[in-house]
Chain A
Amino acid sequence: MRKMKGSQKQNKNKETIHYSLSANIEEMKQSFSYGLNKDFAMRTLKAKYNEKKACLFYYSSIVNGDTITTHIIKPLLEQTGEKLSNIVTIENVEEVTDFETAIQNINSGKVILFIEQDSTAYSMDAADFQHRTVTKSENERFIKGPQDAFTESLNTNISLIRKQLHNHQLVNESIQVGKRSKNEVNIIYVKDLVNNDILSNIKKRLDDIDVDSIRNIELLEQYLEERPYSLIPTILYTEKPDKATAFLEDGYVILLMNTSSACLIMPVTFWSFFHSPEDRYLRFLYGNFSRAIRLLCFYLTSMISATFVAIANFHSEMIPPDLLLAITASRERIPFPLIFEILIMEIAFELIREAGIRIPNPLGPTIGIVGALILGQAAVEANIISPIIVIIAALSGLSSFAIADLSMNFAVRILRFIFILAAASYGMLALTGAFLIIFMYAASIKSFGVPFFSPMSPEFVSTKDTIFRKILKKEIYRPGYLDLKDNRKRSE
C-alpha cells in the first residue's frame, strides 16, 4: 500500500517540462505558491540571442542577487550567440527535463531558466546560503595544533579538508536523504584506500533511511547507528578538520552536511574516542604522558566513587587506619548513609554541569560561585556531606572533562552511576562483576563491522597506536581492521 503511494507520488513529480513557456510558468507558480511565498522570485525577460521569451525562477533568500544580475540576466539581455551555454557567464549550466529536478534545484539555491518553445529547462548555480565564518574550535581545544573548526557550510568544510589533503583520490560523493526536504549528505573518502564493503555498507544505510527530513549530521548519526539503545557510541563526531583529515588518511569514511559544523567519522574503535589529535602533534613522550593522564582520568571518573563506596561500606579493612579514622570522624555527624552522600554529590555535580551548559552567557560566572558554594563549604558545614566525599566527587567530576568526546563522556558518566549502585549492593564483588559485564559488552560491539577494541583485541596489523603511540617514523601500517586497498603508510 505504502509502496503504491510512493510510486504514484513519483509519477506525478516525474512530469516532464512542457514545450510551452506559459504552461511551465503556471506549473512553477503552483508548485511554489507564487505570491504567497514571499521570497520565491520570478523574472521574465526576452533573450536577445534567440529572440524568445524566457523566465527565471529562484529563491531570492538563498541566491546571490549580484551573480544573477551580472552573469545571467545581463548576458541574456545583451549578448548574442548560438547556444545558451555560450551566453551566460555563470560557472555551470545543467539541463533539466522534469519538474522534480527543477524544484529540487531551486530548493538547493539554483536558478531555473525556462525558454519559450523549449522542453528543457536550464539550472544555474547561484546559491548563497548564509553561514558563519570559520572560527576557532570551541568544544575541542588544543594548545598545539590547528585551531580552525568546521562551520555550517559544506563548501567551506570541504575546503578545510582539501587544504590539508592534496590528493586527487579524495572523493566527495553526495547522496540525498529525506523524502520531503531533500538534504544532501556528502560522503568523503580516499578512493584508492577505502574498503568498498564499508563504503557500500554506509551508502546502503543512507539509502535505507526512510524519513521526511534529516536536517543535520547530529540527527543523521542516530539514523545511521546500528544499536540506538546502546550505551556505547559507534560513530565519532568531531568539529576539527585536522582530526577528520587524519582519519581520512587512514582510510576511514567521513560524512558532511551543509547544515552542521561537524562531521561524522566511521567506523570507529574505542581508541578513536580515547585519542586526541594533539597526542600526535606533541612529541612522543609528551603525547604519551598526556595519554597516561587521560587513561587515569577514564579510570577515576568511572570508578573512584564506586570504589570508595565499595571499600567504605564492605571492606573497611582495606583503608589504612589513619584515613579510616579520619573518614569515620567526619562521618559521625552525617545523617545519611555513605551511598546517599555520594549520590547527592554526583547528582549535584551533574546539575551544575547541565545548568552550566544551558545558562545564558552573562550569567555564566554566577554558576561557578553558586556551584562551588553548594558543593563545597556549605554542604560540609551543614553536616550533609563529609569532606572526603567532596574530594571524591570533585575528582570524578574533574576527570570526566578529560574525555573530550561528548558521546563517550556521557557513556562514562552514566556508567559511573551504574558502578556506584553495583558497589553499593555487593561491594567489590558487584563492582568487579559490573565492570566485567560492561567490558564484555563493549568488546562485543561492532561499528560498521569493526570490533570495538581492535587492533588490540582482536589483534590486527596497525600503527599499534592504542593506549600509547609509537614514534611517527615507526608507524608503517594503516589500520588492518579496515582491510584497506593500500595497507602501508611507508615502505620500511
Chain B
Amino acid sequence: MKKTFLLLCFLFIMAGCQDRIELEQQSYVIAIGIDSTDDKGTYEFTYQMANPEVGSAAGQGGSEEPATETVTVQGSDILSATFTANSFVSKKLTLDHTKVIVVSEETARSDDFIRVIQSASRTPQVRRQVQMIVSKEKASDFINNNKPLLETRPHKYYQTMLTRAIETGIVPEATLHRFFQITEGDADLFLGIYATTEKSDQKSASEGAEDKYIAGEIPQIGGSPTQFMGSAVFKEGKMIDIITGEETRLAHALDPTLRMEGYLATVPDPMMPDYRVSYEYSQAEMPKIDIHYHKDKPTTINVEIEFQIEVIAIPSLVEYTQNVAYRKKLEKEVVTRLEQNTKALIEKSQKEYRSDPFYWSLYVRKYFKDIPSYEKADWHKKIYPNAEINVTYTLDKLEFGKMINDSKLDEVRD
C-alpha cells in the first residue's frame, strides 16, 4: 500500500514537470514581422525580442546591452520559424507576449496573405488581442527602423503608442480576433493599422487639416521616425486600399463596435474663412443604426449620430458666444462638413470597395432565419453597394470652454 502510494506520488511529479519552463529560459517576442519572398509559400519572419535586463533595477550590468534583439529568418509559418531562429537565438522564442504583427503592404495585398496569417489563429501562443499593423515598407525594415526614443522597451512602446493612437481614432482597433471575425463573416471590411518609418511626399498642414494624412505624409521634425496614421482596408482577407486618418475617425464614429475617446479637429471659420475654428469632438452615445432590408428593392440604412462639441480656439476672434446667428452658422458648418465627409466615404465604399468598413452587417442579420439565406442575400455584392444610406449628425451640445469672450482686438490695439 505504502509502496503504491509512493510510486503514485513519483508518477505524478515526474509526469508533471516536463511542461515546466523557467522564465529566464525564454525570449519574449514583442513584435512579429511578416514579409513575402520570391518563393511562394516561404516567408521572411522577423522577431523582435525584449531584453529583460534593460530598464529593470534588478538586472545588474545589463544596461550596456540593447533593449531589443531583432532577427529575421525564413520559414513557412510563424511558429516553425521560431525554431529555425534558435540556431542563433539562445533561448526559446515565446510568442505569448506578442503585442503586434507587422505585415508589409506588399504581403498584405497578395492573395496568399490569408494563408500565412491563419497559423496565428491556430497556435494558442499568439493572442487574439495582437494588433495587426500594415507597414508601407518591408516589415523587417519597419521593425529595424523603429527606434523609439523614450520608451526603449518595445512592449511599452507598442502598448502606449497604439493605445493613444486608437483613443484618438486616427488608427483603428485592429486585433487579430476582429480580422478573423470579419473575414470569416464574409461581409464588411476590416481596417488594419497603417504605419511606416519612411517619409513620403509630405503634405502641409493646411492641405491635411490635422488628420487628412496617411502614415509617412505627416511633416515631422524630431522624435521617432515611425508614424501611425490611417488604416489599411482589407476585403476578404486581402488588402485593397488605404484610407486616411480622417476617414478612419469617421469609420469610428459610424461603427458601434469601435471605441474612440474623441478628438480635436478644425473647420474653416464660417465668418472669416482664412482662419480655422478648433473644437473637440466627442460622442457620448453610440450611433443609432437602423437597417430596413428589402429583398427586391434597395435596403435603407439610417444612421443617427449625436455628438458634442467643445470649441477650444477661435483665432478669428469672432464673437460666436454672444451672437446667436453666428453660432448657428458655426454649428451648421461643423455638421455639414461632417456629413459631407461621411457621404464621400460612404460613396467611396459603395462604389469602390463595394463593402462597408463600419461592421453594419451586424444589423441586417436579424432579417435572416439562418446562415445560408443570409449568405445568399450577399452583403458584399447585393445589399450594401445598392443600399440607400442616410447619415444624420445631430449636435447635442456646444460648449465654449471656460472663457466666454475673447480679447477684443480693437480695444487691445488702440
Tell me the complex Cα distance, A427–B16, Å: 8
Main SS class of interface, B: loop
Measured between alpha carbons, how far is A331 from B21 in the docked complex, in Å? 13
Q: Which residues of B contact A325 (CB under 8 A)?
A: 28, 50, 52, 55-56, 153, 155
Tell me whether A329 and B16 are in contact in the complex, defined as CB-CB below 8 angstroms, given that A321-B50, A338-B23 are known contacts: no
Ordered by A's residue number, 28 sampled pairs between the chains whose C-beta atoms are within 8 Å are A312-B23, A313-B20, A313-B21, A314-B20, A314-B21, A316-B26, A316-B94, A317-B96, A317-B97, A317-B125, A321-B99, A322-B156, A325-B155, A326-B52, A326-B58, A328-B28, A329-B62, A330-B56, A332-B24, A333-B60, A337-B22, A421-B13, A424-B16, A425-B13, A425-B17, A426-B19, A427-B19, A430-B16
The proximity string for B residues 285-298 relative to A, scoring 1 for CB distances below 8 Å and 0 otherwise, is 00000000000000
Contacts of B17 in A (CB 8 A): 424-425
| Nearest-CB residue, chain B, relative to A318 | B96
Are A425 and B16 in contact (CB-based, < 8 A)?
yes
B325 CB, nearest partner CB in chain A, Å:
55
List residues of chain A with CB within 8 A of the CB of B88: none
10 more A-B residue pairs beyond the given contacts A321-B30, A328-B26, A328-B28, with a C-beta to C-beta distance below 8 A: A314-B21, A316-B96, A317-B127, A321-B99, A325-B28, A325-B50, A326-B56, A332-B62, A333-B60, A337-B22
Once A321-B28, A425-B12 are accepted as A-B contacts, the answer to whether A329 and B20 lie under 8 Å apart by CB is: no
Compute how far the CA of A313 lies from the CA of B99 in the bound complex, rounded to whole angstroms: 21
Closest CB in chain B relative to A64 CB, distance in Å:
57
Write the nearest CB–CB distance from A137 to chain B, whole angstroms.
42
What residue of chain A has the Cβ atom nearest to residue B56's Cβ? A329
B30 neighbours in A (Cβ, 8 Å): 321
A378 within 8 A of B: no
List B contacts of A328 (CB < 8 A).
23-24, 26, 28, 52
Measured CB to CB, the closest approach of chain B to A23, in angstroms, equals 60
Residues facing A in B87-142 (CB within 8 A) are: 94, 96-97, 99, 125, 127
A351 at the binding interface (Cβ < 8 Å) = no
Once the chains bind, are B53 and A321 in contact (CB under 8 Å)?
Answer: no
Q: How distant is B181 from chain A, measured CB to nearest CB, in Å? A: 22
Name the residue of chain B whose CB is nearest to the CB of A336: B22
| Interface residue? A261 (CB, 8 A) | no
In the complex, A438 has a CB within 8 A of chain B: no
Query: Is residue B59 contacting chain A, with contact meaning CB distance below 8 A?
Result: yes
Residues of A402-434 whose CB lies within 8 A of B: 421, 424-427, 430
Q: How far is the CB of B25 from chain A (nearest CB, A)?
A: 9
CB distance from A142 to the nearest CB of B (A): 41
Query: Residue A313 contacts which of B22, B56, B62 (CB distance < 8 angstroms)?
Result: B22
Question: Which residues of chain B are near A424, meaning CB under 8 Å?
Answer: 16-17, 20
Once A312-B23, A325-B28, A427-B19 are accepted as A-B contacts, the answer to whether A332 and B156 lie under 8 Å apart by CB is no
**CB of A21 closer than 8 Å to a CB of B:** no
Residues of A within 8 A of B19 (CB): 314, 426-427
- The answer to whether the Cβ of A277 comes within 8 Å of any Cβ in the partner chain is no
Q: Which of B2-30 contact A (CB under 8 A)?
A: 12-13, 16-17, 19-24, 26, 28, 30
Judging by beta carbons under 8 Å apart, are A332 and B53 in contact? yes
Give Cα A421–Cα B9 distance, bound, in whole angstroms: 11
B53 touches A329 (CB 8 A): yes
In the assembled complex, the Cα of A328 lies from the Cα of B25 at a distance in Å of 9
CB contacts (< 8 Å) of B16 on chain A: these are 424-426, 430
Task: Return the contact of B58 from the options A312, A322, A337, A386 (Cβ within 8 A).
Answer: A386
- Tell me the nearest residue of chain B to A429, going by C-beta: B16
Which chain B positions have C-beta within 8 A of A293?
none
A424–B155 CA distance with the chains assembled, in angstroms: 28
How many B residues touch the partner, as a band?
Answer: 20 to 34
- The answer for the CA separation of A312 and B17 in the assembled complex, in Å, is 13
Give A384 Cβ to nearest chain B Cβ, in Å: 14
Residues of B within 8 A of A (CB): 12-13, 16-17, 19-24, 26, 28, 30, 50, 52-53, 55-60, 62, 94, 96-97, 99, 125, 127, 153, 155-156, 159
Cβ–Cβ contact B12 & A322, under 8 A: no
Q: Which residues in chain A, 327-351, are within 8 Å of chain B measured between CB atoms?
A: 327-334, 337-338
A330: chain B residues within 8 A (beta carbon): 56, 58-59
Q: Which of B23, B55, B99 contacts A324 (CB 8 A)?
A: B23
Q: Is residue A371 contacting chain B, with contact meaning CB distance below 8 A? A: no
CA distance A334 to B24 in the complex (A): 9
User: Bound complex: CA of A326 vs CA of B55, how far in Å?
Assistant: 8
In the bound complex, residues from chain B placing their C-beta under 8 Å from that of A329 are 52-53, 56, 58-59, 62
| Residues in A neighbouring B62, C-beta threshold 8 A | 329, 332
Q: Which 7 A-B pairs have the closest CB atoms?
A: A425-B16, A317-B96, A330-B58, A329-B59, A328-B52, A329-B56, A329-B52
Q: Give chain A nearest CB distance to B405 CB in angstroms.
A: 47
- Minimum CB–CB distance for A32 against chain B, Å: 50
Q: How far is the CB of B274 from chain A (nearest CB, A)?
A: 48
Given contacts A326-B52, A329-B53, contact A321 B20 (CB under 8 A): no
Q: Given the complex, which residues of A lie within 8 Å of B53, measured CB to CB?
A: 329, 332
Q: Which of A331, A425, A426, A427 contacts B22 (CB 8 A)?
A: A331
Give the CA-CA distance A427 to B15 in the complex, in Å.
Answer: 12
Return chain A residues, CB-CB under 8 Å to B20: 313-314, 424, 427
Query: Residues of B contacting A338 with CB < 8 Å?
Result: 22-23
Interface string of A109-122 (1 = CB under 8 A from B): 00000000000000
